[in-house]
Amino acid sequence: MSPRRASETRRLVVELGAAALARFFLNTARRFAYPFAPALARGLDVPLTQVTSLVAINQGSGLLSPVLGPLVDRWGPRALMLLGLSGLALGMLAAALLPLYATVLIALGMAGFGKSCFEPAVQAFVGARVRWERRGLAIGLIEFAWSGSSLVGIPLLGLAIERYGWRSPFFILGALAVASIVMIALLVPPIQTGAAGSRLVRLRETWGRLLRRRPTIGALGYSLCFSMANDTVFVIYGAWLERDFHLPLAALGGATMAIGAAELLAEGLTAALSDRVGLARAAVAGIVATAAAYLAMPLVARTLPLALGALFVAFLAFEFTAVTAVGLITELMPDARGAMMGVFGTGSSAGRMLGALTGGYVWVAGGLVATGCVAGCLSLLALGSLVWGLRGWHPRPI
Reference 310, options 361, 376, 356; nearest CA is: 376
* Residue 212 pLDDT exceeds 90: no
Tens of pLDDT, residue by residue over 356-384, are 778 878 888 898 999 999 999 999 999 99
Greater model confidence, 130 or 394: 130
Are 116 and 62 within 8 A, CB to CB?
yes
Reference 343, options 60, 72, 69, 77; nearest CA is: 69
Q: Which long-range contacts (CB under 8 A, 24 or more apart) does 354-359 make?
A: 354/224, 354/228, 354/231, 355/227, 355/228, 355/229, 355/230, 355/231, 355/232, 355/234, 355/235, 356/56, 356/59, 356/231, 356/234, 356/235, 358/228, 358/232, 359/231, 359/232, 359/233, 359/234, 359/235, 359/236
* Residue 178 pLDDT exceeds 90: yes
Q: Tell me, which fold does domain 1-193 have in CATH?
A: Growth Hormone; Chain: A; (1.20.1250)
Q: Tell me, which fold does domain 198-398 have in CATH?
A: Growth Hormone; Chain: A; (1.20.1250)
* Residue 305 pLDDT exceeds 90: no
Q: Give the pLDDT of residue 196.
A: 47
If one counts every other C-beta atom within 10 angstroms of the C-beta of residue 331, the result is: 21
Reference 201, options 387, 88, 298, 67; nearest CA is: 67
**Residue 147 confidence class, pLDDT cut points 50, 70, 90:** confident
Longest CA pairwise span in the chain (Å): 63
Q: CA-to-CA distance for 261 and 98, rounded, in angstroms?
A: 35
Q: Give the pLDDT of residue 88.
A: 94
Q: CA-to-CA distance for 333 and 322, rounded, in angstroms?
A: 18
> Is the Cα dihedral 218, 221, 224, 225 positive or negative?
negative
Residues near 176 by beta carbon (within 8 Å), at least 6 away in sequence: 25
Q: Give the pLDDT of residue 199.
A: 45
Reference 343, options 198, 203, 210, 146; nearest CA is: 210
Domain boundaries, the chain: 1-193, 198-398
Residue 188 three-state SS = coil
Reference 221, options 67, 324, 60, 351; nearest CA is: 351
194 backbone dihedrals φ, ψ, rounded to 5°? -100, 170
| One fold for 1-193 and 198-398 | yes
* Residue 197 pLDDT exceeds 90: no
Are 77 and 121 within 8 A, CB to CB?
yes
Q: Give the pLDDT of residue 357.
A: 76
Q: Give the pLDDT of residue 253.
A: 55
> How many H helices and E strands in the chain?
17, 0
The residue type at 135: R
Q: Give the pLDDT of residue 385.
A: 95
Q: Give the pLDDT of residue 33.
A: 76
Tens of pLDDT, residue by residue over 3-55, are 677 777 788 888 889 999 999 999 899 878 766 766 787 888 887 666 656 66
Within 13 Å, how many C-alpha atoms sit on residue 361's CB side? Answer: 5
* Residue 249 pLDDT exceeds 60: no
Are 90 and 110 within 8 A, CB to CB?
yes
Q: Give the residues across from 336 on adjacent strands.
A: 194
**Residue 135 confidence class, pLDDT cut points 50, 70, 90:** confident
* Residue 158 pLDDT exceeds 70: yes
Residues near 303 by beta carbon (within 8 Å), at least 6 away in sequence: none
Tens of pLDDT, residue by residue over 314-370, are 989 998 999 898 888 877 777 767 677 777 877 887 888 788 778 878 888 898 999
Tens of pLDDT, residue by residue over 75-134, are 888 999 999 999 999 999 999 999 888 898 888 888 888 888 888 888 888 888 888 777
* Residue 188 pLDDT exceeds 60: yes
